[in-house]
Structure 1
C-alpha cells in the first residue's frame, strides 16, 4: 500500500458528534474522534494499559483511557496525563463528500 493511499473508513454521518468511535480500517483498530466539527484518528489501544480508547471518555481534545485514566491529545496522540507516557500513533484524516478517509501508511 502506498504511503499516500487514503482508505474509506465510513460515512461521515456515522460519526457521533463530539465523541469517539472505534473502527477497523485495513486491519488496524482505529479510534475516530469528532471535536468541534473536526475529525481526528489514532490507534484505538492505549499504549499504557492496552484498553480500547473508544470505551474511554472524550473531553475536548483529550481521550481518557477507561482502564487507568491516562489521557492523550487526539490531534497528535501525545500523552497529557500519567500513567500514559508513550504517544499513540495518529493518522491523517479528511472528509470528502459524505465519506471519512484515513491515511494509514
Structure 2
C-alpha cells in the first residue's frame, strides 16, 4: 500500500466534503458523523464536475450539478442520471492523520 498523508483528521468537517489532491488525483474526502472517513474520486461519472462541492447525506455524496448520489462505501450510483460508479480509495487513520491510497481503489 502506498498511502499518502492527506490531512489531519481534525481538518475534516463532519458531514461535509473536502477536496484533496493525492498522487496527482483529485479526491473528495468525507468524514461522517460515526467518525468514519471516506475517499472517492472527485469527478461525477455523469457530469464530469467536482463531487467535493456536493452535499453529504447519510453515507452518500450528491453531485451539485444534476443530483446524482453516490454510495461512499461502494462508489455505486444511487440515483440517476449517473449510471457508472466512481472510484473508492482506501483510507487509513494513524495518530490523528488521514492517509489515502489512490493506487488501489477498493471497488475495481
TM-score, length-scaled by structure 1 = 0.93
Specify every segment of 5 or more residues in structure 2 that has no aligned partner in the other structure, as ranges: 104-108
State the alpha-carbon separation in 2 of the partners of residues 100 and 5 from structure 1: 13
CA-to-partner distance for each residue in 1:16-68, whole Å, 9 max, x for gaps? 11221111111000001111210011001101001111111110111110010
Q: Which runs of 4+ in 1 moved over 2 A?
A: none
State the alpha-carbon separation in 2 of the partners of residues 82 and 66 from structure 1: 13
Residue equivalent to 1:54: 52
**1:76 Cα offset (Å):** 1.4
Alignment: residue pair count: 102
What CA RMSD, in Å, does the superposition of the two structures yield over aligned residues?
Answer: 0.8
TM-score, length-scaled by structure 2 = 0.91
